[in-house]
Amino acid sequence: MGDPRLLERARPVEQFDTPELRALLADLQDTMNALNGAGLAAPQIGVGLQVVIFGVEHNPRYPDAETVPQTVLINPALTALGDEIEEGWEGCLSVPGMRGVVPRYARLRYQGFDQYGNPIDRSVAGFHARVVQHECDHLIGVLYPMRMRDFSRFGYTDVLFPDSPPIDE
């Protein structure tokens, strides 16, 4: 947080399945795995392209976390399904050591492409919908604190959740 590249709009990917895109995805995957995140967006590693990855397998550290399929999502378009809003805790690898409560659409349709250019079109809810909204916000220069409404529910992870923090996005 504080790096101006996190506040820029990312550019669409124009060519799929290239060596450059494969290298970017490997870098994103390595970074996400090393930091134990639920997702990561290209601008978070300094690349201004519309590429996000996310996914949550069953993890003994987060026994209550819903699973989310491992996904590469490129050039995404999001559509809220209804106007129900849910609040939930989020963290971000670009805002280390902190968690905050963020309002998000409860139900969401997202469309885009995988790394080979195959279309993706899913309608999701809950934690899956939250992760996608969080990651895609990185592509329009938005960090989760910019979505918060109640700063009494923002703080240091180890103070808020001494035992088992919510997963980082």
Q: Which residues are catalytic?
A: 135
| Contact window for Ni ion (CB under 5 A) among 18-26, 87-95, 98-106, 146-154 | 87-95
Closest CA to 13 of 54, 52, 49, 53: 49
CB of residue 138 vs Ni ion: minimum separation in angstroms?
Answer: 6
Strands (E), 17-127: 39-41, 51-56, 68-80, 85-92, 95-105, 107-113, 119-125
For Ni ion, the closer CB: 108 or 169: 169
Work out how close the CB of 41 gets to Ni ion at its nearest, in angstroms, rounded to a whole number.
7
On whether the CB atoms of residues 105 and 127 are closer than 8 A, the answer is: no
Verify binding: residue 24, Ni ion, rule CB under 5 A. Answer: no
Does position 169 bind Ni ion by CB under 5 A? yes
Q: Which of 49, 92, 106, 131 touches Ni ion (CB under 5 A)?
A: 92
Q: Is 6 in the site for Ni ion (CB under 5 A)?
A: no
Does residue 28 touch Ni ion according to CB under 5 A?
Answer: no
Sheet holding 154-156, edge to edge: 85-92, 95-105, 154-156
Contact call for residues 39 and 131 (beta carbons, < 8 A): yes
Report, in Å, the least distance between residue 168 CB and Ni ion: 7
Q: Report the interface residues with Ni ion, using CB under 5 A.
A: 92, 169
